[in-house]
Amino acid sequence: MRVIILGFGGREDVVREADRLQPVIADRAEIAAIDFSGEEDLSQVEADYAIVFGGDGSILRAAHQMGERQLPILAVNLGRLGFLADISPSELPRVLDRLANNKLRVVEHLMFWCTLIRDGEAIERRLGLNEVAVQTGPPFAILDVDLYVDSELVTTYSGDGLIVSTPVGSTAHSLSAGGPILRQELQAFVICPISPHTLTNRPVVDAADRSYELVIPRPSSGSSVIVDGRVMTTLAPGDRVRVERAEQQFLLVKGPGHSYYRTLREKLGWGGRLQIPKAT
């Protein structure tokens, strides 16, 4: 099998660990390309898998770098939480052996297209994996966002902004804003307000085959659209931000013995009973 090795070159430990494990990979696969800059065009590289070293941020960068030609990713966790990157460096040789023998499952995850429509014209489009966030900016006034689902007005959210998240992104910004955790294989979106100026707005989960539009009548000068943590553009009055399911799927190789609830339990510190230390 042919593989691409990717990672975030800004972290010395990532580059060092990838260099250490490169002979292990070379014993089991042909290395088609290596890139730690995040800038190499991978669209013409013929490979079966991408091995990504780092954390979930490195995986996001790799997914963006691959663009419309997504390869299955084998994610080696060198970060902190690592909801997606759940294979440890010590597991890599065994996992590669099983992968070469087609004994591992590749799970498909929802991706989306985010399109900015201004004056009736689509001026920018970006492929994403985690979430789209429309957020207020300087001078940080309350932002009104009209939500339309399949062209039907749902409601107007008033607050710091609005997040439309995939199940993969449900453990990222959306979770911090009070959104629910979705099983990563689900085909659904979470609509989660950011600091809503009301007690009646709650996160909503809806099907991925619908079209979601966020309309911003009066943005502040610093309000922006953010896709997977990267600013896509600042907002102008009347802008429409459309979020729709992409044909592309994010493909993730599942390591042996790594289950969904085990990952949540370990990464979120679900420890069972509350332990209260005794007074001394």
Are residues 95 and 120 located together in one domain of the fold?
Answer: no
The tally of CA atoms less than 13 A away on the side-chain side of residue 3 is 24
278 pLDDT above the threshold of 70:
no
Question: Looking at residue 261, which CATH number applies to its domain?
Answer: 3.40.50.10330
pLDDT at residue 174 greater than cutoff 90:
yes
Please report which confidence band the pLDDT of residue 229 belongs to, taking 50, 70 and 90 as the band edges. Answer: very high
79 has pLDDT over 90: no
d(CA 197, CA 42): 44
Residues 100, 166, single domain; the answer is no
Q: Are residues 72 and 152 in the same domain?
A: no
Residue 277 lies inside a defined structural domain of this protein: no
Q: Per-residue pLDDT averaged across 239-260, rounded? A: 92
What's the mean pLDDT in 82-86?
80
- Cα–Cα distance for residue pair 71/45, rounded to 1 Å: 10
Which band of pLDDT confidence, cut at 50, 70 and 90, is reported for residue 68? very high
- pLDDT of 227 over the 90 cut: yes
pLDDT computed for residue 241 by the predictor = 98
Q: Is residue 275 part of a domain?
A: no
274 falls within a domain:
no
Number of domains in the chain: 2
Whole-number pLDDT of residue 125? 97
- Judged against a pLDDT cut of 90, whether residue 271 lies above it is answered with no
Q: What is the band of 201 on the pLDDT scale with cuts at 50, 70, 90?
A: confident
**φ and ψ at residue 221, rounded to 5 degrees:** -60, -25
Instruction: Verify that 117 and 184 share a domain, yes or no.
Output: yes
Range of the domain at 136: 111-247
pLDDT at 181 over 90: yes
Residue-level pLDDT at 276: 57
Is 195 contained in some domain?
yes
| E strand spans, the chain | 2-7, 30-35, 49-54, 73-77, 106-118, 121-128, 131-135, 143-149, 152-159, 161-165, 188-194, 204-207, 212-216, 224-227, 230-234, 239-253
Higher pLDDT, residue 100 or 272: 100
Answer yes or no: do 64 and 115 share one domain.
Answer: no
Same domain, 152 and 200: yes
Q: How far does CA 145 lie from the centroid of its chain?
A: 23
pLDDT computed for residue 279 by the predictor = 58
Residues 88 and 128 in one domain: no
98, 81, 173, 265: CA torsion to nearest 10: 80
Q: What is the pLDDT of residues 35-58, one digit of tens each?
A: 999 988 888 899 999 999 998 899
* CATH code for the domain of 237: 2.60.200.30
Average of pLDDT values for 100-109?
92
272 — pLDDT class (breaks 50, 70, 90) = low
Instruction: Choose among 115, 129, 141, 60: nearest CA to 232.
Output: 115
Give the span between the Cα atoms of 184 and 278, in whole angstroms.
Answer: 39
Residue 272 within a domain = no
Catalytic residues: 56
Residue 132 and residue 240 in one domain:
yes
Residue 280 within a domain: no
pLDDT confidence of residue 275:
58
pLDDT in tens, 132-152: 999 999 889 999 999 999 999
76 residue type, one letter? V
Residues 12 and 54 in one domain: yes
* Mean pLDDT of the region 241-263: 90
Whole-prediction pTM value? Answer: 0.91
* 90 and 169 belong to one structural domain: no
Contact 51, 67 (CB under 8 A): no
Q: Are residues 241 and 163 in the same domain?
A: yes
Please count the CA atoms within 13 angstroms of the CA of 55 that sit on its side-chain side: 11
**Cα–Cα separations (whole angstroms), residue 35 to 65, 127, 251, 267:** 10, 21, 19, 28
Structure confidence at residue 81 (pLDDT): 66
d(CA 91, CA 77): 10
Query: In this structure, is residue 273 part of a structural domain?
Result: no
Same-domain pairing of 94 and 188? no
Q: Is residue 101 part of a domain?
A: yes
What average pLDDT is seen over the chain? 92
